[in-house]
Chain A
């Protein structure tokens, strides 16, 4: 295990940011810390980096007890949501910073900076100032800067949070490919479940200072440990008091056993899918159902129609 967090707690005044957190993050993997804002995931990342200190507990990085080490001596790369560029330095100078601190020979620094800038596709921007780059380019520069010192772990705090949707999507695909090329242990914080599901090898769900579940994207989606995880990863609705995914509810025109009758009260067509709100007769609850456009057309669904619902898992 590359990073071991044991019994870490952290309070800010009365607010409990982390409550006895235990987690192991494996070497060479891309791990997402996923959870709602204010859930403690950024605090956990900053404690791993040494930028904040825990009230209690230990942090071990690559087998070394790092609990009381300052950030300078933890050999971690850190990437911030708002880039944290050194504004007055050129792109090349930014990337060279960590190497200059380590007093590496000039020629070696130049070679390494050139390599890294090529890696992040900023070779032709070496002599620009960060203010002359777009957000996505700045974040790639920040990534190159963090990678320059060959960190044992790379920590990214909401790295794409400040970017617009399109660049964000491109960058996260690119990060995944970069990680496959440069397999340094990477932990990134996000509140976007889609981002975590798409990019991460493993996801740690953090909520209210506690870890809710650790697992692969598939495990978390298919076997959520609790309602919170289920609700956070993907849409949910309640059917007979149970949490289910709206697209896992079967709609049928003919009534069979286990089924509930209901009336369609709302119908929305969004792209390829159709979203229905069905008022169930027996329980009086409003259930969200998602089906495909083709299926809805085949059933001839419209507002006011009576439909029969059954959770897909019951049919299987």
Chain B
């Protein structure tokens, strides 16, 4: 066994000019838009405003028009509160589940070779591509009354979880997959040669590289879960206080002519969505810092 002792450094480091590069941080100067990019920014802002900002502002204004009272009423309503709790809770659970399962599925699709892999790769997108009401119908026929596999979950909270898990499945898979494909496997070999077992290598070398993708997939998944209507509405039975989700509650508020309450609830959902995006972004930074 050759033992290695570190003695004083060998003479002279290789010191060429290019060998001492500063950290790259090219920060563009402010107010230096060229004509073309100015036009591009203008078009983007108009489009974004028309589609997103103005409608959102309109909802907030409608909600605010009723004064603080509308918010208090909307949020202290037991049925609304239950719907909010169920929706956000189920969305959280489903998102965490997706972060794990989505990563596993992406791993299998990228790293393993098996018969029918390309078919599965294609099928993954179906929950996303299906019209949501069709997704609901599919689930109802499988897990509803007269289920061919003997599993009947309609009109229970399981139905909500199941529907949300179904429609949000592709998000994490599809964000993690390309990152995993691009990862240089040399780093994993290097970790193995340094003595790390496969699990440690995954946890300390591969996972940190996937974290941004997992979290952005999670953000998409959560956003989709709190807004889902079509897939849930058929299977859950919409029992007030038990299986009614926010989007269904909102719809019935509008049907009942209570636009102000609907707008208040919509504003709350808007805040929750914003909060989720911020929290997931902070979470990703926190994980990245910890390594």
Contact between B205 and A150, CB atoms less than 8 A apart: no
Which among A137, A150, A166 is the interface contact of B4 at CB below 8 angstroms? A150
Contacts of B16 in A (CB 8 A): 136, 166-167, 170
Minimum CB–CB distance for A98 against chain B, Å: 4
Greatest chain B CB density within 10 A among A78, A164, A178 is at A78
A:116-162 near B, CB below 8 Å:
116, 118-121, 128, 131-134, 136-137, 142, 145-153
Indicate if A57 sits at the interface (CB-CB under 8 A): no
Indicate if A7 sits at the interface (CB-CB under 8 A): no
Report the interface size class on chain B. 35 or more
Contact between A51 and B189, CB atoms less than 8 A apart: yes
Indicate if A86 sits at the interface (CB-CB under 8 A): yes
Which among B186, B192, B204 is the interface contact of A71 at CB below 8 angstroms? B192
Minimum CB–CB distance for B147 against chain A, Å: 46
Indicate if A72 sits at the interface (CB-CB under 8 A): yes
User: 1/0 per residue B195-207: CB within 8 Å of A?
Assistant: 1110010001100
Contact between A102 and B9, CB atoms less than 8 A apart: no
Greatest chain B CB density within 10 A among A82, A88, A132, A182 is at A88
From known contacts A72-B196, A88-B208, infer whether A150 and B184 are also in contact, taking CB-CB under 8 Å: no
Minimum CB–CB distance for B77 against chain A, Å: 46
Contact between B24 and A72, CB atoms less than 8 A apart: no
User: 1/0 per residue A102-122: CB within 8 Å of B?
Assistant: 100000000010011011110
Indicate if B12 sits at the interface (CB-CB under 8 A): yes
User: 1/0 per residue B86-125: CB within 8 Å of A?
Assistant: 0000000000000000000000000000000000000000
Which among A85, A88, A148 is the interface contact of B291 at CB below 8 angstroms? A88
A116 nearest in chain B by CB position: B6
Indicate if B31 sits at the interface (CB-CB under 8 A): no
Indicate if A234 sits at the interface (CB-CB under 8 A): no
From known contacts A88-B208, A121-B13, infer whether A182 and B192 are also in contact, taking CB-CB under 8 Å: no
Contact between B187 and A97, CB atoms less than 8 A apart: no
Contact between B6 and A134, CB atoms less than 8 A apart: no
Contacts of A8 in B (CB 8 A): none
User: 1/0 per residue B179-217: CB within 8 Å of A?
Assistant: 000001011011111111100100011001100000000
From known contacts A27-B2, A166-B18, infer whether A149 and B12 are also in contact, taking CB-CB under 8 Å: no
Which among A87, A118, A164, A167 is the interface contact of B9 at CB below 8 angstroms? A118
Distance between Cα atoms of A121 and B191 in the complex (Å)? 23
From known contacts A71-B192, A97-B191, A180-B10, infer whether A151 and B18 are also in contact, taking CB-CB under 8 Å: no
Indicate if A49 sits at the interface (CB-CB under 8 A): yes
Distance between Cα atoms of A151 and B22 in the complex (Å)? 32
Distance between Cα atoms of A19 and B249 in the complex (Å)? 72
B:1-48 near A, CB below 8 Å:
1-16, 18-24
Contacts of A101 in B (CB 8 A): 194-196, 200
Contact between B18 and A134, CB atoms less than 8 A apart: yes
From known contacts A167-B18, A174-B14, infer whether A150 and B187 are also in contact, taking CB-CB under 8 Å: no
Contact between A51 and B193, CB atoms less than 8 A apart: yes
Indicate if A28 sits at the interface (CB-CB under 8 A): yes
Contact between A84 and B189, CB atoms less than 8 A apart: yes
Distance between Cα atoms of A87 and B182 in the complex (Å)? 13
Contact between B10 and A174, CB atoms less than 8 A apart: yes
Contacts of B194 in A (CB 8 A): 97-98, 101, 145-146, 148-149
A182 nearest in chain B by CB position: B4
Distance between Cα atoms of A80 and B3 in the complex (Å)? 22
Indicate if A250 sits at the interface (CB-CB under 8 A): no
From known contacts A98-B194, A166-B16, infer whether A184 and B205 are also in contact, taking CB-CB under 8 Å: no
From known contacts A150-B3, A171-B14, A184-B2, infer whether A119 and B9 are also in contact, taking CB-CB under 8 Å: yes
Indicate if A181 sits at the interface (CB-CB under 8 A): yes
29 example contacts (A-B, Cβ-Cβ < 8 A) are as follows A27-B2, A28-B2, A62-B2, A71-B192, A71-B193, A72-B192, A78-B193, A82-B184, A84-B190, A86-B187, A87-B209, A97-B194, A97-B196, A98-B194, A101-B195, A102-B195, A115-B6, A118-B9, A119-B6, A120-B9, A132-B24, A136-B16, A136-B18, A137-B19, A137-B21, A145-B194, A146-B193, A181-B7, A182-B7
Q: A residues touching B (Cβ–Cβ < 8 Å)?
A: 2, 27-28, 49-51, 62, 70-74, 76-78, 80, 82, 84-89, 93, 97-98, 101-102, 112, 115-116, 118-121, 128, 131-134, 136-137, 142, 145-153, 164, 166-167, 170-171, 173-174, 177-178, 180-185
18 extra interface residue pairs, beta carbon distance < 8 Å, beyond A80-B186, A181-B9: A27-B2, A71-B192, A72-B195, A72-B196, A78-B189, A78-B193, A84-B187, A86-B187, A86-B191, A86-B205, A88-B209, A89-B291, A97-B191, A119-B10, A136-B19, A147-B4, A167-B16, A170-B16
Q: B residues touching A (Cβ–Cβ < 8 Å)?
A: 1-16, 18-24, 184, 186-187, 189-197, 200, 204-205, 208-209, 288, 291
